[in-house]
Amino acid sequence: MPLPFDPKQVSYVRYDALFNYVTVSRDIGFRDADTQIVHILGKDIARFHAIFWPAMLMSVDYRLPNTEFVTGFFTVDGHKMSKSLGNVIDPVQVVDDYDRDALIFNLLYDVPMGADGDFSVERLGNLYESMLIGGRGNLVNRVTSLCKKYGITSGKFNKQKREVFKENNNSKLVQYFEDGWDGSKIEEAYLKKADIK
């Protein structure tokens, strides 16, 4: 739809379509001052949604988003997803084959927030095997075996142990996640938790 004030500019979304966001979300805290409004945009529509959408909200006295994340594009094995190419990924099938957390881990590991990224089921499989099963899974298996071998039982998580955990681990973990979310670096927050000793 060409814009009347500049023939070089077009709009791909009808102006009134954006109000569907308000229609859907008005009963779930859209006006509540305690609700964080996070607007996730594709980079191809960021200009329209970052200019017109806030103006529309202001015109009806609605709150503006607290944060806007602009995502990049995904390609599949180096190509744009296309039905004609037959390379469209079914996320439900990927989750059935690998697990939801494995897919999330792969996307966060391979594609920083806001950047373009390439998805490959083969890459997901390799990452799943090497990092999640081979790395984390192997660590859990070795620790469990040592606990059995030396008769270490879980016991109670008493107040003293809880304080040591808070001082040495929890504060770092919480800080990583807070920094990651506040700085739009979700993948760093997710991945850094593995570095905490």
Show the tokens assigned to 94.
């990927």
Confidence band of 197 (pLDDT split at 50, 70, 90): very low
- Domain limits, the chain: 1-71, 74-153, 155-197
5: pLDDT confidence band, cut at 50, 70 and 90? Answer: confident
For 50-88, write each residue's pLDDT tens digit. 888 888 888 888 888 888 888 888 888 888 888 888 888
